[in-house]
Structure 1
Amino acid sequence: MGSKVVLRDGSPEAAAALAAGARVVARSWGAGLSVEVVDARVWERAREAVAGLAVLRELTPDDRDSILRLDRDTVADYPGDVATTHRPLTAGAPTPAPGRRAFGAVVGQELVAMTFVDVDGDRAETHFTVVARAWRGRGLASAVKALSLGALAGAGVHRFRTGGSFENRAIIAVNEALGYVRDEEWLTLVHDAGDRAGPT
């Protein structure tokens, strides 16, 4: 297989690559949220939906071992291709920091869901969100993302970004319910061996 390139769907570059014989091997998307146009009560309802199931809280460096464990157990579960790949966290830098906040759901002593968010002034972008396999389908991704939105909006963040693979229909539904609006789509393209060269 040839080298892969990620290009915005509908762009001249993508059209040229497709015309030159490139194949679409994955599709991804991006979405934005403006605090001013979202009813924050939807975030409250998402948190309340898991009130009897898990404790929601911001994660700290003291949660390092739990964070690493959940990341290790789910690192192979991210759908899509190079545009949505997730690099495993490392022992040297897995934990929250001033520019990277993390929020999780805990059942007993077990961290079962978490979302990491990169923060830059009044803007933030989801780095990744993951739920332990045995706990999926119970609203935990919605809850931890809602927790992050509420906490960061309260700290002065006004614009949020997120994204993912079109293969993950569940997280698309989660983000739409929380107020995100999908505003961009991307193609991961590859030229097979023997095809004439496309963009790299």
Structure 2
Amino acid sequence: MGETIVLPAQDPRRAALEADGWVIVARSFGAQLHSDGINDQRLHALIAGAGGLVRELGDADVDAVLHLDAITIEDYPGSTATQHTPLDRRAATPGVSRRAFGAFGPDGDLVSMTFVNVDGVEAETHFTVVHRAWRGQGLGIAVKAASVLALAEEGVTRFRTGGSADNVAILRANDAVGYVRDEEWVTLEQDVR
């Protein structure tokens, strides 16, 4: 693999790089949601529709978080701009500025989670993941919806999220929660053939 560069999709340098043989190897996006655009009723319905228990995660959930992270570490699409670093015990421990929400299966196993970094009235999703066996059931949507509802109730007014533009599931989850895409990025790699 050659050198990589991540640029906004509309960056004027992109055309010159592509003319010099750089190729797009991944696309990513950013999206926002303002608290005045939150549809509480819809978000509560999305959580209820997923079934199972959806709640905020705490210290007692760290082992479950580490387990789910370990078995899904290879599941993040994209490249440099959307890589997920495996969690260690410290990173898996929620706190005041790093909140986490999860969904649990009938057997009590954590099957979906989202981690959100909070700074005053701003929150940015760090990552969201769903166990392979539980995908397509609205659990990623449910944990994102739960995070938005809880944090908005505590005074957060601006929410950001992002990820791989190739990840159809997260695009659908963000749309369902009410996020609006406002950034597009490209990852270019030097063609070394």
Distance across 2 between alignment mates of 1:48 and 1:59: 18
Cα drift, residue 134 of structure 1: 0.7
Identity among equivalent positions (%) equals 52
Q: Match for residue 144 of structure 1?
A: 143
Cα drift, residue 98 of structure 1: 1.3
The runs of 5 or more residues in structure 2 that have no matched partner are: none
CA distances 1:147-174 after superposition (whole Å, capped 9, x unpaired) = 0000000000010000111211111011
Q: Does 1:58 align with 2:56?
A: yes
The runs of 5 or more residues in structure 1 that have no matched partner are: 195-200
Distance across 2 between alignment mates of 1:92 and 1:140: 25
CA RMSD, 1 decimal: 1.2
Runs of 4+ in 1 over 6 A off after TM superposition: none
Secondary structure at the aligned position of 1:87 is classed as coil
Cα drift, residue 126 of structure 1: 0.3
Q: Does 1:126 align with 2:128?
A: no
Distance across 2 between alignment mates of 1:131 and 1:65: 16
TM-score of the superposition, structure 2-length normalised?
Answer: 0.96
Distance across 2 between alignment mates of 1:122 and 1:160: 9
CA distances 1:6-46 after superposition (whole Å, capped 9, x unpaired) = 00001112222222221000011110001112322221111
Q: Match for residue 93 of structure 2?
A: 95
CA distances 1:75-96 after superposition (whole Å, capped 9, x unpaired) = 0000011111000001243110
Cα drift, residue 124 of structure 1: 0.4
Distance across 2 between alignment mates of 1:70 and 1:79: 17
Secondary structure at the aligned position of 1:2 is classed as coil
TM-score of the superposition, structure 1-length normalised?
Answer: 0.92
Secondary structure at the aligned position of 1:138 is classed as coil
Distance across 1 between alignment mates of 2:39 and 2:25: 37
Stretch of structure 1 that moved more, 16-25 or 154-163? 16-25
Distance across 2 between alignment mates of 1:73 and 1:97: 23
Query: What aligned pairs does 1:1-200 form with structure 2 within 5 A after superposition?
Result: 1-50=1-50, 53-107=51-105, 108-193=107-192
